[in-house]
């Protein structure tokens, strides 16, 4: 039994485009001798379509596309995800297309409603009794994504009429190491149920979510017999026997952790830019490690000729950072504009002198500099149609160490879910890739981090050292631990209290930040929904 897994990159809302992509893959699978081809969960609409699912005409358009695909499907059985409207409910369903018609519909049972997921907002559950189809006399069990994450029906062979091959179509968002988590889970399911599992994954970026691909198949013993590469479209061919044994076809190697994260950022950035119709991006380049990483990712995602960098020096910009910004841009082959900000700074100082009436400079003036830079980048965006990529990392975003409407101003926040220490690791990974043509000046990573918004400023003037900060943040933000649990880990109580307070108070800023790519277990945004008005501390 040859089963083809079409790991495709859909676009949300592009029903016509997705339909064409699916039709092409069905045909390609047929040509490769597959009896069955799988397409990802909700392939016809893209995932997640969110509140588009509340539009009746959207559901009707999606159904019409499935009907057209069915009519064209000959000589192969295709399993395609789509939102199914019946008289009372909407289901997250898979259509089985064969012989020119919809032969069967399977409805997802387990609807995730945690983390980034809102599926119970849209869908009703299918019956737990499960379902299966027969293809060439072989029984195949049907499941969608979450159905196989929860032990018990419908993923069991009992609920699949004894099928020893279980098909699964998924749209499973990435975080670090998620691919191996999926494989480990499915291998366990296979041995528990004494059945082969075939897992077809979505690939591509959608707003804050990134789908990493890595479709795969395991035999009934839980051994991997096929795996598609990460972060690219692919057609994975699996050969599985009716009894759940199989032969190895292709097992793509996995990227090392930091390379994997870097690849996630590249694909997430490329897809956000191109799916939203932008040709070109612009980045404020400070000479620091954060904007360096964003520039590296942007060039790898789009090529150098589609990236413009801007250096916007002030009286506090050091020769070192300015020089590094120029060197990096030159090494990458990207255009670099230089727009000094002192003129505007002076104008604001004069405009506000009467109102501020001799008060000492403070954060106000620091923020104004960051906002002038934000304005300049947005002016370039407005004039030339470029998308502004922002450069704030997760550690800064967490504690509000950024200027709202300043450095956080832009369309896409590439590294908003990357903690500061990981920023360094990712730059190092990128430099290792081709040491002969390393574009990054050493001083970018050896200089102590500074926002350069006042004289002799350093991040560690106002924040704990990043190794402490990142450890507190991981516990507080990603694990929902409280003060006592963090202190019990050996973290300094004063830093814990301060960081908790800063994280809570910065929620209003994060709510106004652009989207960026989720790479950790819990990203800011729809993954972590906390109130702004909130008196709880800890």
Site string for its own copies, 453-472 (x = CB under 8 A): --------------------
Catalytic-labelled residue, pool 19, 84, 119, 145: 145
* Closer residue to its own copies in complex, CB, 256/338: 338
Interface with its own copies includes 379 (CB under 8 A)? Answer: yes
* Closer residue to its own copies in complex, CB, 294/481: 481
Contacts with its own copies in 409-428 (CB under 8 A)?
A: 409, 411
Q: CB of 106: closest distance to its own copies in angstroms?
A: 23
Interface with its own copies includes 352 (CB under 8 A)? Answer: yes
Interface with its own copies includes 347 (CB under 8 A)? Answer: yes
Q: CB of 58: closest distance to its own copies in angstroms?
A: 6
Interface with its own copies includes 375 (CB under 8 A)? Answer: yes
- The radius of gyration computed from the CA coordinates of the chain, to the nearest angstrom, equals 25
Quote the distance between the C-alpha of residue 100 and its chain's center.
36
At 381, list the tokens: 């965006």
Question: How far is 226 from 467, CA to CA, in rounded Å?
Answer: 39
Interface with its own copies includes 404 (CB under 8 A)? Answer: yes
DSSP element (H, E) containing 421: helix 420-433
For its own copies, how many residues bind (rule: CB under 8 A)? 84
* Closer residue to its own copies in complex, CB, 55/433: 55
Interface with its own copies includes 492 (CB under 8 A)? Answer: no
Q: CB of 406: closest distance to its own copies in angstroms?
A: 9
Residues 6+ apart with CB under 8 A from 465: none
What b/e readout covers 281-292, taking b as 16+ CB neighbours within 10 angstroms? bbbbbbbbbbbb
Interface with its own copies includes 207 (CB under 8 A)? Answer: yes
Q: CB of 186: closest distance to its own copies in angstroms?
A: 25
Q: CB of 345: closest distance to its own copies in angstroms?
A: 8
Interface with its own copies includes 51 (CB under 8 A)? Answer: yes
* Closer residue to its own copies in complex, CB, 450/513: 513
Interface with its own copies includes 67 (CB under 8 A)? Answer: no
Answer for which of 114, 253, 434, 455 binds its own copies (CB under 8 A) is: 114
Catalytic-labelled residue, pool 19, 84, 108, 309: 108
* CB 322 within 8 Å of CB 311: yes
What residue ranges in 202-300 does DSSP mark as E strands? 203-206, 209-212, 216-218, 224-227, 234-240, 246-247, 281-284
275 labelled catalytic: no
What residue ranges in 99-250 does DSSP mark as E strands? 101-107, 132-135, 138-144, 165-169, 196-200, 203-206, 209-212, 216-218, 224-227, 234-240, 246-247
At 122, list the tokens: 């849209």
Answer for which of 2, 27, 50, 161 binds its own copies (CB under 8 A) is: 50
Question: How far is 392 from 413, CA to CA, in rounded Å?
Answer: 7
Question: Could you identify the residue written with the tokens 């998620």?
Answer: 178
**With CB under 8 A as the contact rule, which of the stretches 128-136, 147-155, 267-275, 295-303 interacts with its own copies?**
267-275
Interface with its own copies includes 358 (CB under 8 A)? Answer: no
* CB 82 within 8 Å of CB 95: yes
Where does residue 355 rank: exposed (0-12), middle (13-18), buried (19+ CB within 10 A)?
exposed
Answer for which of 424, 482, 487, 492 binds its own copies (CB under 8 A) is: 482
| Concatenated DSSP letters of 363-396 | HHHHHHHHHHHHHHHHHHHHHH-PEEEE---HHH
Interface with its own copies includes 113 (CB under 8 A)? Answer: yes
Interface with its own copies includes 535 (CB under 8 A)? Answer: yes
Contacts with its own copies in 147-206 (CB under 8 A)?
A: 205-206
Q: Work out the end-to-end distance of the chain between its first and last CA atoms, rounded to an integer number of angstroms.
A: 55
145 labelled catalytic: yes
108 labelled catalytic: yes
Answer for which of 515, 516, 520, 524 binds its own copies (CB under 8 A) is: 515
Question: How far is 368 from 406, CA to CA, in rounded Å?
Answer: 8
Query: Which residues are known to be catalytic?
Result: 41, 108, 145
């Amino acid at each position: 039994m040859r089963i083809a897994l079409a790991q495709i990159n859909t676009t949300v809302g592009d029903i016509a485009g997705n339909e064409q992509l699916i039709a092409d893959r069905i045909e390609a699978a047929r040509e490769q001798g597959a009896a069955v081809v799988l397409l990802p969960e909700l392939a016809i609409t893209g995932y997640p379509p969110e509140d588009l699912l509340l539009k009746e005409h959207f559901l009707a358009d999606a159904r019409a596309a499935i009907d057209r695909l069915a009519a064209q499907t000959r000589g192969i059985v295709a399993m395609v995800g789509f939102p199914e409207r019946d008289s009372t409910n909407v289901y997250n369903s898979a259509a089985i297309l064969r012989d020119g018609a919809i032969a069967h519909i399977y409805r997802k049972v387990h609807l995730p409603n945690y983390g980034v997921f809102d599926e119970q907002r849209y869908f009703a559950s299918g019956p737990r009794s499960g379902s299966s189809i027969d293809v060439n006399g072989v029984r195949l069990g049907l499941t969608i994504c979450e159905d196989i994450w929860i032990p018990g029906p419908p993923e069991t062979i009992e609920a699949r009429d004894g099928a020893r091959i279980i098909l699964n179509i998924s749209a499973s968002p990435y975080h670090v190491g998620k691919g191996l988590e999926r494989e480990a889970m499915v291998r366990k399911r296979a041995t528990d149920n004494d059945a082969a599992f075939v897992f077809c994954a979505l690939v591509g970026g959608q707003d804050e979510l990134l789908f990493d691909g890595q479709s795969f198949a395991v035999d009934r013993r839980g051994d991997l017999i096929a795996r598609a590469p990460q972060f690219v479209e692919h057609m994975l061919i699996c050969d599985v026997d009716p009894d759940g044994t199989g032969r190895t076809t292709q097992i793509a190697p996995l990227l090392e952790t930091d390379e994997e994260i870097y690849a996630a950022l590249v694909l997430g950035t490329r897809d956000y830019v191109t799916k939203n119709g932008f040709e070109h991006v612009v980045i404020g380049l400070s000479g620091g490690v954060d904007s360096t990483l964003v520039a590296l990712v942007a060039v790898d995602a789009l090529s150098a000729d589609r990236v413009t960098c801007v250096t916007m020096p002030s009286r506090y910009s050091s020769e070192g950072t300015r020089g590094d910004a120029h060197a990096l841009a030159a090494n990458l082959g990207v255009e670099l504009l230089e727009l000094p900000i002192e003129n505007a700074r002076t104008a604001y100082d004069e405009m506000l002198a009467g109102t501020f009436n001799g008060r000492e400079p403070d954060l106000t003036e620091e923020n104004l500099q960051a906002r002038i830079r934000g304005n300049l980048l947005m002016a370039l965006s407005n004039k030339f149609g470029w998308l502004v990529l922002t450069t704030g990392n997760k550690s800064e975003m967490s504690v509000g160490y950024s200027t709202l409407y300043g450095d956080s101003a832009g369309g896409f926040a590439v590294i908003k879910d990357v903690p500061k220490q990981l920023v360094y690791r990712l730059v190092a990974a990128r430099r290792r890739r081709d040491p002969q043509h390393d574009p990054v000046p050493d001083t970018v990573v050896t200089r102590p981090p500074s926002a350069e918004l006042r004289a002799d400023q350093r991040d560690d003037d106002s924040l704990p050292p990043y190794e402490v900060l990142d450890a507190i943040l991981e516990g507080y933000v990603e694990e929902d631990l409280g003060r006592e649990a963090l202190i019990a880990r050996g973290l300094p109580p004063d830093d814990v209290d301060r960081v908790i307070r800063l994280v809570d108070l910065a929620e209003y800023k994060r709510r106004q930040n652009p989207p960026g790519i989720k790479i950790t277990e819990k990203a800011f945004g729809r993954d972590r929904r906390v109130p702004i008005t909130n008196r709880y501390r800890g």
